[in-house]
Amino acid sequence: MPLYKQLFHRFHEVPDYIPASHYRWYVFGNYAFFLGGAVHFLFIFLFALVGVKQLALFNIASSIMWAFAFYFNFKGYSKLGLTLGNIEIVLHAWLCTLILGWNTGFHYYILVLPLIFFLAPWPVADKIIASFVNLILYGLLNHFYQTFTPLIAIDPMLMIVFKYTNIATFVFISSYFGFYYRAIVIEVETKLETEHQKTNQALIERNEILTKLNEELVEAADYVKSMLPKQIKEGPVKADWRFFPSTSLGGDAFGYHWIDEDHFSVYLLDVSGHGVGAALLSVSVLNALRSQTLPRTDFKNSKQVLESLNIAFPGDENNDMFFTIWYGVYKKSTRELTYASGGHPPALLIGGNAKGDSEAVLLRTPNNVIGGMPEVTYEKRECLVGEQDRLYIFSDGVYEVEKSDGSMWRLQEFTEFMNKVKAEDQSTLDHLHRYAGNLKQSDNFEDDFTIVEITFI
């Protein structure tokens, strides 16, 4: 490969120390500084030929300055190279105007620099300041030297040659920059249009995925709801419930069933977090309780049930998810209720005359959450229930309701409400849900609103 081709090929090879965003300026600077040095090298002979030795000697220094400017740009110091080139152009314009006169047109090159500045990879503020300085220098040159008598008188024809050559060169450079910027704008617009199309396509694909995901979440929510028990309206135990999932798929689940003719179990659990993972875990626990598949477990013994659940569903095997639960067993022949809670809110047992002066009894045991710690011992407790006593089992989403003033409706307030509520034309559960919605002034809750009502006949 010829030497000149090797040289120009090097102009396009970007070293590792040049950022990719500076590639355009790096290549442009290599050519600009190289041509600047070559032109000023020719000026040495041109000015010597016309007898202006001062400018011939100055262009020797100019050629050296351009060589350094090229070297600095080539090594990645673009700002230093451009600053050095700018100093040379200003000095060259001032000196040529001083010696040969304003009409030679060398002063036009000072106006070229602002065009170059805005191509350089500098902060906008630096570009504006540098351009402003050059415009000030051009204004001073115009003020002091437009009518100044030149130090050396040259042939008028040569003066015209200098003038129109410099004007033509300035116009060519300005036109080049105009076309160059136009090409950049077209390139940027093309890239923007391409990226816009890619973005639109990505949005379309994302919307399709979200639509599919929402459909799957709806199916998952419907599946969870399909596993919930039906209300019991007749018999020794009546059961009713309200389940209002939050906007995202939650981890609440509950159930009740007769273990045998004398024992009735009821349970409600709340898995930590929301989403598909929490829902899957709640369904798994619900299946284990409903089908009574926990090994070596007496499902009439609430203590054994919680201990078996803690073994069967360790948090470290379920993405560090745990759950709380309230599990109770009612023995019809003795009216004894045995219960155990693992980190769950207490159940409320309200006497048959609770709409009068009776007080609600909180049923809880000081047990750990399920899946939090292995080899934990749980305890159970018992109580007797009377005729028409009502048992309410719920998740914390029922009473942790943010009021319109920003405060939170607490468990004590919820207990007092349930103890005194008188729902004449609707069920207690509907009255509760409407009251909680009025407190929040919204029908959308941050957590699942889940509550089960058991009435003992």
Q: What is the pLDDT of residue 133?
A: 92
**Domain limit, last residue, from 147, 181, 198:** 198
Q: Are residues 318 and 444 in the same domain?
A: yes
Q: Are residues 192 and 240 in the same domain?
A: no
Q: Hey, which of 80-84, 179-183, 424-428 has the most confident mean pLDDT?
A: 80-84
Our measurement of the distance from residue 358's CA atom to the centroid of its chain's CA atoms, rounded to an integer in Å, reads 53
CB-based contact 408:432 (threshold 8 Å): no
Q: Tell me the pLDDT of the chain averaged across its residues.
A: 88
Q: What is the pLDDT of residue 354?
A: 42
Domain membership of residue 98 (yes or no) is yes
Alpha carbons 205 and 173: distance in angstroms, whole number? 47
Q: What is the pLDDT of residue 55?
A: 94
Q: What is the pLDDT of residue 358?
A: 64
Domain membership of residue 217 (yes or no) is no
What digits encode the pLDDT tens for the residues 50-63? 899 999 999 999 99
Alpha carbons 176 and 355: distance in angstroms, whole number? 92
Q: Are residues 278 and 142 in the same domain?
A: no
What digits encode the pLDDT tens for the residues 150-199? 999 888 899 899 999 999 998 988 888 888 778 877 887 888 899 989 99
Count Cβ atoms below 10 Å from residue 301 Cβ, excluding itself: 16
pTM of the predicted structure, to 2 decimals: 0.58
Domain membership of residue 213 (yes or no) is no
Q: Are residues 256 and 190 in the same domain?
A: no
Alpha carbons 215 and 454: distance in angstroms, whole number? 34
**Domain limit, last residue, from 198, 224, 242:** 198
Q: Which is it for strands 323-331 and 336-342: parallel, antiparallel or unpaired?
A: antiparallel
Q: Are residues 109 and 236 in the same domain?
A: no
Q: Are residues 168 and 102 in the same domain?
A: yes
Q: Are residues 263 and 370 in the same domain?
A: yes
Residues contacting residue 434 through CB under 8 Å, at least 6 positions apart: none
- Total of domains in the chain: 2
Residues contacting residue 51 through CB under 8 Å, at least 6 positions apart: 154
Residues contacting residue 353 through CB under 8 Å, at least 6 positions apart: none
What digits encode the pLDDT tens for the residues 222-265? 777 888 899 999 999 999 999 988 766 778 899 999 999 999 99
Q: Are residues 356 and 428 in the same domain?
A: yes
Domain membership of residue 210 (yes or no) is no
Q: Are residues 181 and 79 in the same domain?
A: yes
Q: Are residues 70 and 19 in the same domain?
A: yes
**Residue bearing tokens 């001062």:** 54
Q: Are residues 259 and 174 in the same domain?
A: no
**Residue bearing tokens 């673009």:** 78
Domain with 423 in it = 232-456
Residues contacting residue 419 through CB under 8 Å, at least 6 positions apart: 348, 350, 354, 358, 359, 360
Report the amino acid identity of residue 179.
F
